[in-house]
Amino acid sequence: MIDKCKELAAYARSIRARLIATVLLAAVCAGTVVAAATAAYTVTIVDDGQVRSVITTRSDASAILEQAKVELGADDQLVLSDFVSGEDSTITIHRAKQVTVSDGKGFSKTLMAAGTVADAVAKSGMTLKDSDVLNFARDTLLEEGMVISVQVAFPVQITADGESTEVEVVGGTVEEAILAAGIALDEDDESTPAREEPATQGMQVRVDRVEYKFRTQTETIAYKKITEKSVSMYTDQRKVVQKGQNGEKEVTYKERYVNGELVKTTVDSEKILKEAVNQKTLVGTLRRINKIKLKNGLTPISDLEVPSYVKIDANGVPTKYKKIVDGKAAAYSGGWGTASGRKPMPGHIAVDPKQFPYGTEMWIVSADGKYVYGYAIAADTGGFVQQKTFTVDLYMHSYEEACEWGARQVRIYVL
């Protein structure tokens, strides 16, 4: 019985010890918490750029500002990103400023806002896109009276190389929109609308890849056929006096390719390698007259004496001759000499010496049968030779006779 009592007494003493230890531990912990809660720390207050510090044991930012006697307006902005309760840290205050936000297209709003340019735009009701452009950096702090201009980006669709890309721009040219879409342009590439046109909202732009290629080849220059009139040939006569020969040239072509397809070819340059020789053909202008009937009683105009070996028939033309040349005769008078040295007179006529050498004897009558010029000798060179307009030029007694003759078709009997 005595031993049992001793055992119970020892157990009671251990429980009391445990209770005392627990009470003491609780008291120590409570003292630590109280000490931590009441420790002072420094808070730096940046108020619209002005800096002050406050030593506080308060944990709430509002309470700290109250302690520092700092009041906030309805539009002021409190920034607590750098504040940590119980630690040395910073509270930032941005005071409200009156600013104006405008998009340049009719929207304009003046308001009280605090913080950054982006904060003021958001408060104005506008939603900024990454592609919008502002006249200030978005994180610029607001200043009193600031006017914030927002260039609102709009979409432009660019189609190039078989793909379409939408890019947002705030203006500029079509070319700038293309480059903004990350599409490279070569110097010859083209766009529709043109590169220099202003970009507009909803515009659809097509880029055409343009390339130029040059090709050189040798080509034939075809000769031309030239026809000249000859007064010494009949209308049914033609004679090629110069044969035609083709020439050669080196031609460089400029080929325009659009999106890989050839759309236009132009001549860039030409180099003549061999000139072409034109073919020249003489065509007669004389009408053939089978027989000329002279009027009765015509007196020859020529003053030359007819040689005895020249016999004239009843119609007034020679009975014998070497050939007949039908042509056209002009008339003239006056002058002091001839190319052959013979004296100017009716009967000494002007000719083309290549056709009728000086001294050639002839008998000439008009094709209409109205005149007999008579016996004539080639004595001078006619002024018509270069133009090849006449066959002979007949000397007359007077200017009036020459005018009366004018220009007539004649038949020339070469004796």
Place of tokens 């390339």: 211
Place of tokens 């906030």: 72
Distance (Å, rounded) from C-alpha 357 to C-alpha 359?
6
Distance (Å, rounded) from C-alpha 278 to C-alpha 246?
8
Distance (Å, rounded) from C-alpha 353 to C-alpha 338?
13
Binning pLDDT at 50, 70 and 90, where does residue 43 land?
Answer: very high
Place of tokens 């947002």: 168
Distance (Å, rounded) from C-alpha 242 to C-alpha 278?
7
Handedness of CA 164, 170, 171, 177 (dihedral sign): negative
Per DSSP (E only), the strands in 18-107 are: 41-47, 50-56, 77-79, 89-94, 97-102
Residue type, 5: C
Distance (Å, rounded) from C-alpha 4 to C-alpha 202?
102
| SS3 of residue 7 by DSSP | helix
| SS3 of residue 226 by DSSP | strand
Could you report the per-residue pLDDT of 141-166, keeping only the tens digit for each? Answer: 999 999 999 999 999 999 999 999 99
What pLDDT sits at residue 34? 40
Kindly state the average pLDDT of the residues 360-387: 94
Parallel, antiparallel, or unpaired: how do β-strands 133-134 and 147-151 relate? antiparallel
Per DSSP (E only), the strands in 124-260 are: 133-134, 147-151, 154-160, 163-169, 190-192, 204-208, 210-221, 225-234, 238-242, 247-258
Neighbours of 208 (CB within 10 A): 14
Alpha-carbon dihedral 131, 136, 138, 139, rounded to 10 degrees: 160
Spatial neighbors of 263 by CB under 8 A, at least 6 apart, are 256, 257
Check whether 136 has a pLDDT greater than 70: yes
Spatial neighbors of 53 by CB under 8 A, at least 6 apart, are 42, 43, 44, 45
Kindly state the average pLDDT of the residues 342-346: 96
Report yes or no on whether pTM surpasses 0.85. no
Report the Cα–Cα distance between both ends of the chain, in Å, rounded. 198
Alpha-carbon dihedral 368, 372, 376, 378, rounded to 10 degrees: -20
What pLDDT sits at residue 22? 35
Check whether 32 has a pLDDT greater than 70: no
